[in-house]
Structure 1
């Protein structure tokens, strides 16, 4: 059961999803639900003997396109809303031992096209206000399946940190007539010390204001 609960002290929505405590937790490779379903083998979430990249709705979603009504009653101090949204799983490879960093360039390019396709499709839905594409790495941050995969959350609200970033970029543009991201990028390129990689079409850098290593 999922629901949106209002946090009156932070003035933001919190997603409560107690049913996710029962999701599959670190199964052995022979019983991985993201591997292809081999003939006569364990039936996985992908009923095919092999695949390239697979996208499907999360079996244990925090958000649903047709969510049930909240199980608790709302109050004036604690509003509650149905957890409307979409949660998808993106499986990068049929190989259980693969990792994004070691995949061929062609597969990564294909994956980027899949991300773009899902971003546009989900973002066009009338109840979606923010699409978040991400990958968790390591058990310390909650990974429960080691098969190479990521997730996509389509939220019915804009997360507070993103709201703050949007407000800052709009304010900077109003005051300076320039794009904040463009100005930051130009400054980092001039400095050069924090540039990780500069290609023909993209630049990766650790910003001057990084809050943790490798941000």
Structure 2
């Protein structure tokens, strides 16, 4: 595949190394220093774009790809207030768009099990449910996109909770996501069900970014022959 990398930070560089090791070609590397170079790419010279950037840049990057016929795999978080606009743009242009807040296969199995456990635990109101997410100090958005996806999986069963809140454990009628930032933490997410007598936890701890990169390159390979909007559940058949 001819891959256009949009976002060339730690994640972009990890994806590059993995893609090259699998025999793919990196035709361009776009970051904030050369953002205007994105205008040089279309479906004529790029088979797929992999986009990991900041919240303020993500939608513009995705929009460009969809309107220029480039299938786009995005892992940017913090921009989802415009997600439905991206979906409509994809449909309008008969494009291909793959989005996930986390591309790790292990994390997506975690999402799957999280939804299953929540569907069972909601019948036991003596357990208070909460989420804790820990990331490195450079992580811009709080809570993390993975934390929000985890919350959405729980809320699909906990109809009595009026959405999620960030770092507000005193709001008992909402699902709290506690965010922590520490040096050299790739990504940790823990769901806790606490009662007066015991505690149940489901967690995922990432040891490196390699799992995220592997999933992103896998998604790019999977997407290039398709049209429509997809996510990890579609690719992993969960």
Scaled by the length of structure 1, the TM-score of the pair is 0.28
Larger of the two Rg values belongs to structure: 1
Point out the structure with the larger strand share: 2
- In terms of fraction of residues, the more helix-rich structure is 2
Higher RCO structure (Cα 8 Å, ≥6 apart): 2
